[in-house]
Amino acid sequence: MNTDTADAPYEVRWAREDEWAPAMKMIWRTFLRYDGQDYTEEGIRNFFDFITDDDLYRAFLRGEYQVMVALAQGTVIGAGSLRNRNHLSLLFVDGAYHRRGVGSAILIRLCDYLEHELGERYISLKAAPYAVGFYRKLGFRVVRPEAEYSGIRVTDMVKIL
């Protein structure tokens, strides 16, 4: 799927093995810029440990942790991932591409995949404080109020497909 932003076209598709490291670096950079101030040092460390975990990478290689990327001129500008079949694990877009439809495009593709290829009826996620409004605009609803787990603040949300 090609989608035009105000500046340049981007492509949304499943990630390839060589895109894992660039995707995780973009996620880390974006997390620190937009989410890090909402987390304790423990939460920041736990988030970093999660995205750099070798077991997570091996799960990706086995197809058990699916990652969709958005690329502009070959550079990863966004990424979203699924775990436990229908749980959105990560959705991050490089700050330079915020409010240009990149995150929405990734999420729409993931929801279409879940609904039409896997027959899922809903998608769940744990939203960071910065992202709750974004997910609400895309049809997600809060199912549990914000809570903190190991220094990470999240709000449980769900969308019926």
Top pLDDT among 27 and 129 is at 27
pLDDT digits (tens, 9 = 90+) for 32-69: 999 888 889 999 999 999 999 999 999 999 999 999 99
Confidence of residue 2 (pLDDT cuts 50, 70, 90): very low
User: Residues 96-109: what's their mean pLDDT?
Assistant: 96
Span 7-27, average pLDDT: 93
- The pLDDT assigned to 37 comes to 86
What rounded mean pLDDT belongs to the chain?
93
Predicted local confidence at residue 157, as pLDDT: 98
What integer pLDDT is reported at residue 5 of this predicted model? 42
Residue 1 is predicted with a pLDDT of 47
Q: What are the pLDDT digits (tens) for 106-131? A: 999 999 999 999 999 999 999 999 89
E strands in the chain: 2-4, 9-14, 66-72, 75-83, 87-93, 122-127, 141-149, 152-160
CATH number of 2-160: 3.40.630.30
DSSP 3-state percent helix, strand, coil across the chain (nearest 5): 45, 35, 20
Take residue 129 and report the two structure tokens written for it. Answer: 């404080």
DSSP state of 150: T
Q: What is the pLDDT of residue 6?
A: 45
Average pLDDT over residues 84-92: 96
Mean pLDDT of 127-137: 94
The DSSP secondary-structure symbol of 91 reads E
Residue 150 is predicted with a pLDDT of 87
pLDDT of residue 7: 55
**pTM for this predicted structure:** 0.90
- The answer to whether 86 and 47 are in contact (CB under 8 A) is no
Instruction: Tell which residue, 99, 98, 100, 110, has the closest CA to residue 140.
Output: 110
Q: What pLDDT does 68 receive?
A: 98
